[in-house]
Amino acid sequence: MQTKKRNKEDRTRMTTSPESPVSESLAEFKNSFAYGTRTDLNFKFLKNLPDADAAQFFQDLLHKLGDTLDDGDLTRVADHVFAWQAKAYAGAGNWRYPDGPFTPLHKPLAAAKVALLTSSGHFVAGDDPEPFGIKGMTQTEAMARIDDFLKEEPVLSVIPRDTPAAQLRVRHGGYDIRSAQADPNVAFPLAHLRDFAQEGRLGELAANAYSFVGACAQTPLLKRTGPQWVKRLQAEAIDAVVLVPV
Amino acid sequence: MATVVIGVAAFRDRLAAMSLPRLVVTPQLMGRPVGAPNDKTRQREILLAALDLLENAQAGKTIVDLT
């Protein structure tokens, strides 16, 4: 029997079935989860990892799954994904400020008017921001157009404070929205803030909450759109804002 | 206006580098900064930590790490 000695490149390439003989490198495989052939935004962080680290992620994941198959404990799997997300995004990033502003809350929270602003991409049913003029854009379409979103100024959706969860919609091409669809409070905790206002923990919940798609042109957001939103909140006499970036 | 940011631990370094006035870092997976779906207890805890920071932080760059 003759055997073919495999070179290094061969060892890192995976070959699919005989019906699909195109091979794929580990780099191509791990990158495919980030707006590629296997897009899964829970795992888009793999693209940030060196190949060796990505391989370690999968090796350790499978090892932990082996234990989980016996005891059913998925916590180790969640912890594993959590740890590797942190590794993938470690570091200061592009937006660094040595100092920043600080405004004290000049009154007790129980007397303050508090607003919510998130970058989770929530909006009220019937008030779709219709990005690019498209009616009823799906999440899949939003993901496919992520590059377009990143070039656009964001649109602020206004969400009245009494909006029930059933009337909330979410669409955001930058993260896996399944959790936010299942329970808006994971990223748009309006219901909890309503409760806190009723419990007297807040003086008042602002009449409107706000949300936008954080995957947008960042410089216009910083220099133009964001300051406009600040003026809007100031005009509403908001004392404090809970900000939830996603 | 006073502000507080609630962010997942994966972005801790990036958020800290922004010198935010107040920051709560949560032990949540990306996309779920305020807690897992329907985990109302944990979600309330996270929000109450944020509200506590709003009221009691004495200076900027205050970080509460819940991880």
What residue in A sits closest to B61 (Cα-Cα)?
A: A100
What is the count of structural domains for chain A?
A: 2
Q: Collapsing DSSP states into helix, strand and coil, what is residue A169?
A: strand
DSSP state, residue A221: I
Domain contains A77: yes
The model's pTM: 0.91
Looking at the structure, do residues A158 and A56 belong to the same domain, yes or no? no
- Over residues B2-16, the pLDDT tens digits come to 999 999 999 999 999
Domain contains A93: no
Domain contains A4: no
Looking at the structure, do residues A39 and A83 belong to the same domain, yes or no? yes
Contact A245 B55 (CB under 8 A): no
Looking at the structure, do residues A39 and A80 belong to the same domain, yes or no? yes
ipTM summary value: 0.98
Contact A92 B61 (CB under 8 A): no
The per-residue pLDDT for A90 is 95
Containing domain of residue A142, as a range?
Answer: 109-244
Contact A242 B47 (CB under 8 A): yes
What residue in A sits closest to B11 (Cα-Cα)?
A: A89
Looking at the structure, do residues A82 and A114 belong to the same domain, yes or no? no
CA atoms within 13 A on the CB side of B52: 9
In whole angstroms, give the CA distance from residue A58 to residue A81.
Answer: 10
Cβ neighbors of A56 (< 8 A, separation 6 or more) are none
The rounded Cα A29 to chain-centroid distance in angstroms is: 22
Q: Collapsing DSSP states into helix, strand and coil, what is residue B8?
A: strand
Smallest CA-to-CA distance from A24 within A33, A36, A14 is with A14
Looking at the structure, do residues A192 and A122 belong to the same domain, yes or no? yes
Looking at the structure, do residues A172 and A80 belong to the same domain, yes or no? no
Contact B19 A239 (CB under 8 A): no
Looking at the structure, do residues A118 and A232 belong to the same domain, yes or no? yes
Cβ–Cβ contact A235 with B under 8 A: no
**Each residue's pLDDT expressed in tens, for chain A with a length of 246 residues:** 444 444 444 444 555 555 555 799 999 999 999 999 999 999 999 999 999 999 999 999 999 999 999 999 999 999 999 999 999 999 989 999 999 999 999 999 999 999 999 999 999 999 999 999 999 999 999 999 999 999 999 999 999 999 999 999 999 999 999 999 999 999 999 999 999 999 999 999 999 999 999 999 999 999 999 999 999 999 999 999 999 999
Domain boundary among A22, A57, A88: A88
Looking at the structure, do residues A161 and A239 belong to the same domain, yes or no? yes
Looking at the structure, do residues A73 and A113 belong to the same domain, yes or no? no
The per-residue pLDDT for A22 is 73
Sorted by where each begins, the domain ranges of chain B are 5-65
The per-residue pLDDT for A14 is 55
Domain contains A62: yes
- Over residues B17-64, the pLDDT tens digits come to 999 999 999 999 999 999 999 999 999 999 999 999 999 999 999 999
Domain boundary among A55, A88, A121: A88
Domain boundary among A88, A120, A137: A88
Smallest CA-to-CA distance from B11 within B2, B26, A180, B45 is with B26
Interface A–B counts its CB contacts (< 8 A) at 163
In whole angstroms, give the CA distance from residue A73 to residue A64.
Answer: 10
What residue in A sits closest to B4 (Cα-Cα)?
A: A242
A residues 157..176 contacting B (CB < 8 A):
175-176
DSSP state, residue A88: H
Contact A85 B60 (CB under 8 A): no
Looking at the structure, do residues A125 and A60 belong to the same domain, yes or no? no
Looking at the structure, do residues A208 and A125 belong to the same domain, yes or no? yes
Looking at the structure, do residues A214 and A113 belong to the same domain, yes or no? yes
